[in-house]
Structure 1
Amino acid sequence: MIRVWLRRCERRRRLIAAALAAVAVISGYLALRPAVGPAVLVAARDLSPGVLRPGDLRAVSLAHPPDGALRSGAAGRVLATAMRRGEPLTDVRLLDSLRLPPGVVATPVRIADPDAVRLISPGSTISVLAAYEGQSARPVAEEVTVLTIPAAKDDHGALVVLATTPAQANELAGAQAGGHLSITIRR
């Protein structure tokens, strides 16, 4: 009985070898294929800081998403820093999730010269000057950090969100009401 079986196998050895090779290839493919992970939001194109719209992000399955990766609910929230196309959106990139040190507040100010604002980016250290009618400019907030620069929609200056103390925020609010704000850039 065993001899009969061996003779049959000997006649079909090429077929058996081909079948075993196919099993090896399929096993290798199954072992090396990427794992399918949870769907997270990634940038659909290069994004500037500002309000996120529904078409700005798309869901993509990632095998190992970064910590804090968002899976939904980003439309309408404010992106604090720029993102490259395909980059996963994490909670620390959103302005409402930004962790400010104790005693620091996020203060939006409108700088008179939008071209000067193009010279800075989130993380830059600047000083803000206020110029009133008929007077020379005076410093209002010194060495504050830029949190984000939302996209401008008009020609009335550029909006910049700064990390300030509450006292600096009060000074900036008063200066905006009656003067024009400009900046100096620190190293």
Structure 2
Amino acid sequence: MIRSRDRGERLDPVRRRGPGRGTLLRLAVIAVLLATAAAVIRLRPAATACTTSVAPAISGATAPTGATASSGVTASRPSPPEVSGKPSIPEGTVGVPVRLADPTALALVHPGNLVDLLRLGDGGDSTPIASSALVLDVTGADDPTTGGLLLALAPEQADRAVGGSGHGFAILIRPG
């Protein structure tokens, strides 16, 4: 057996010291910041649908065909927005996605605008499809190759937009 030369030498277990004041202060600051971030996220109001700006824009719009005052259906009162945040389609109309022949116009159009929809023909002529169509959504305005419009059209206007031949669509933006 090997003996230690210094009889006063002891092998006590190593004791771990607790965190210092600086470490405790850092942990407290991190906890406060995390609690603040959680409170901000929790108390933040829900995102509003893009249809909130639609009501003033369509106040001068005409009612779709077949809508009467006695039935309570008017174009100036859009249906309430969906819970999912997608744009609501006014009663008496259908949503029609449209890809424009000149996609740079997407940067000029915003939800709530009224536009005239024209189909471009083979000989350079244009055929009116819809007048004062409500723009519900603009998709891909930053990338014109993938962008398009979602328009609220009367059912007969939607049939004309979907059917027929041509080289695409053009729009005229109405003031207001």
Q: What TM-score, normalized by structure 1, do the two folds share?
A: 0.49
Structure 1 residue 168, shift from structure 2 partner: 1.0
AA partner of residue 81 (structure 1): C
The reply on whether 1:81 has 2:81 as its aligned counterpart is no
- Contact 2:111 2:137 (8 Å CA) reproduced: yes
SS in 2 for 1:168: helix
Partner of 2:96: 107
Q: Is contact 2:107-2:142 (8 Å) kept?
A: no
Of 159, 163, 168, 1:174 maps to 163
SS at structure 1 position matched to 2:50: coil
Match of 1:129 in 2: 118
Q: Which amino acid aligns with 2:107?
A: R
Q: 1:80 to 1:110 in 2, by over 3 A?
A: farther
Q: Secondary structure at the match of 2:134?
A: strand
Q: In the alignment, which of 142, 151, 160 is matched to residue 149 of structure 2? A: 160
Aligned alpha-carbon RMSD (Å): 3.4
Query: 1 or 2, which has the higher strand percentage?
Result: 1
Q: Matched residue pairs, number?
A: 110
Q: Report how far residue 186 of structure 1 moved.
A: 0.3
Using the alignment, how far apart are the partners of 2:42 and 2:82 within structure 1?
18
Task: Give ranges in structure 2 of 5+ residues lacking alignment.
Answer: 1-34, 52-80
* Bigger share in helix: 1
Aligned partners of 1:100, 1:163: CA distance in 2, in Å?
6
1:61 to 7, 28, 42: 42
Distance in 2 between the 1:118 and 1:160 partners? 11
Q: Distance in 1 between matches of 2:49 and 2:105?
A: 19
Residue 178 of structure 1, CA deviation? 3.1
Which stretches in structure 1 are left out of the alignment for 5+ residues? 1-35, 41-58, 71-78, 83-89
Whether the 8 Å CA contact 1:113–1:157 is kept in 2: the answer is: no
Secondary structure of 1:169's counterpart equals helix
Does the 8 Å contact 2:132/2:174 carry over to 1? Answer: yes
Following the alignment from structure 1 to structure 2, what is the Cα–Cα distance between the partners of residues 80 and 132?
35
Is 2:94 the counterpart of 1:119?
no
Partner of 2:85: 94
Is it true that 1:186 corresponds to 2:166 in the alignment? Answer: no
Structure 2: distance between partners of 1:161 and 1:144: 10
**Alpha-carbon separation, structure 2, partners of 1:99 and 1:91:** 6
* TM-score normalised to structure 2 length: 0.51
Percent identity of the aligned residues? 34
Q: Separation in 2 of the partners of 1:119 and 1:185?
A: 9
Larger Rg: 2
1:80 Cα deviation after fit = 6.1
Partner secondary structure for residue 163 of structure 2: helix
Q: Distance in 1 between matches of 2:92 and 2:124?
A: 32
Give the Cα–Cα distance (whole angstroms) in 1 for the partners of residues 121 and 49 of structure 2: 30
Distance verdict in 2 for CA 1:121–1:92, change over 3 Å = farther
Q: Is the 8 A contact 1:121 1:148 kept in 2?
A: yes
